[in-house]
Amino acid sequence: MRNKNIQFSFLVIMMLASMVACKKEEYTIPDPVSQLTNDCIKRTIGPSIVSLPLEFAYAMAIPKSSGKLVSAQVEASIAGASGTYLENRSFYTNSSGVDVPVLVGSPSLTVDKSTKVTYSIDTNAATLRYYYVIPEEARGQSVSFTFSVTSSDGKTASYKMGPYTISKMSIKRNLAVSNGVNAYISIEDMAVYNAAAAAAAPGKIDLVYLFRAVPTTFTHALVSPAADAAYLPGVTLPSGLNRSTKLRKVFNLQDRNLANLQFGIYVDDVDLRDVDMVDMPNFAIGLRAEAGVWVETADKKYRAYIFVNSINAAGTAVISMLRYTL
């Protein structure tokens, strides 16, 4: 009798368990948008560097029965640099995956921190891109944005983005260096000089670019003016050049910003701040395309990452750099 009761109870529990497990949640159709709505994504990844743009995509829509879009506006907490704008074209992606623009408004107008586009066509949905060029004033600070849209029924919707921390780094791309001519590199100025210009400001010259076909391991090199003469063969330095800059070679670190938007690696403030430069040499020879060097200036004022974009056997190269003030 007792066994029979246990078996019955077990059966009931099992049935209940299977009923609970099989319970299916009913799908409910989401409510259609009944009012002015907006949304935003940040399209730029990687560190936010002064002079480079931050890109956003701002989407907005209103039911056709409620009216149409009148204007879209973005307000940044720090006014953007020259080149900041809100697209007056809305993009959609076609079946081939290509973004196709549709003109929807007049070119944006930027006044101080605010950038505005007024719609010129009758539309009730659009996605506008916003390009915020990071100004010098924002270096090391946080920037946030308020996107807003106004519709013909007098309603307004807004969307906040950020805050985003702006990097302390500076960037300079595509500097052409050549053996014996434009060969003197200043980290402080993020510039390349010839011998005459280097002699005029010797305290600013941190590196010398040179190319030697022999020995075969030498090829393209970045060498401190104070390096051993063996690493400056046949070089007569302009008077006054005597800085000993530390260099650390690195390979496979193709920063996306320096490599002209190729690759998916980013060098950030923390990398430049934390790189171990203790006991590093003051020369780097045998550099190849897509190689790089960490740099620390003699006065320890700056650290930099120099990326070799391209090299030429005639003794020229194109370099790009990120510089961080310690």
Partner 1 sequence: MAKYFKITLSILMISAIIISCKKDSVVDEDGLLITFRQECFVSNFELLGADFVSVRSKTAVIDTVAQTIDVEVLFGTDLKNVYPQFSLATDCKLDPKISGRTDLSNLASPKVYTVVSGNRKIRKAYKLNIKFQ
How big is the CA angle at 229 (ends 224 and 235), to the nearest 5 degrees?
75
Residues 161 and 154 sit within 8 Å (Cβ to Cβ): no
List the one residue from 248, 258, 303, 317 that touches partner 1 (CB under 8 A).
248
Q: Segment contacting partner 1 (CB under 8 A): 98-106, 203-211, 256-264, 276-284?
A: 276-284
For 190-201, give one letter per residue: b (16+ CB within 10 A) or e: bbbbebebbbeb
59, with CB counted inside 10 A (0-12, 13-18, 19+), is: middle
- CB of 177 or CB of 285, closer to partner 1: 285
Q: How far is the CB of 284 from partner 1 (least distance, A)?
A: 9
Q: Which residue has the tokens 């005459």?
A: 196
Q: Is 25 in the site for partner 1 (CB under 8 A)?
A: no
Q: Is 250 in the site for partner 1 (CB under 8 A)?
A: yes
Total Cβ atoms within 10 A of residue 236: 8
- Residues contacting partner 1: total by CB under 8 A: 15
List the one residue from 147, 211, 283, 305 that touches partner 1 (CB under 8 A).
283
Q: Which two tokens stand for residue 263?
A: 């690759």
151, with CB counted inside 10 A (0-12, 13-18, 19+), is: buried
Total Cβ atoms within 10 A of residue 137: 12
Q: How far is the CB of 46 from partner 1 (least distance, A)?
A: 23
Q: Is 308 in the site for partner 1 (CB under 8 A)?
A: no
List the one residue from 61, 76, 285, 321 that touches partner 1 (CB under 8 A).
285
Q: Is 218 in the site for partner 1 (CB under 8 A)?
A: yes
Q: Segment contacting partner 1 (CB under 8 A): 52-60, 75-83, 235-243, 275-283?
A: 275-283
Give the binding site for partner 1 (CB under 8 A): 215, 217-218, 231, 248-251, 279-281, 283, 285-286, 291
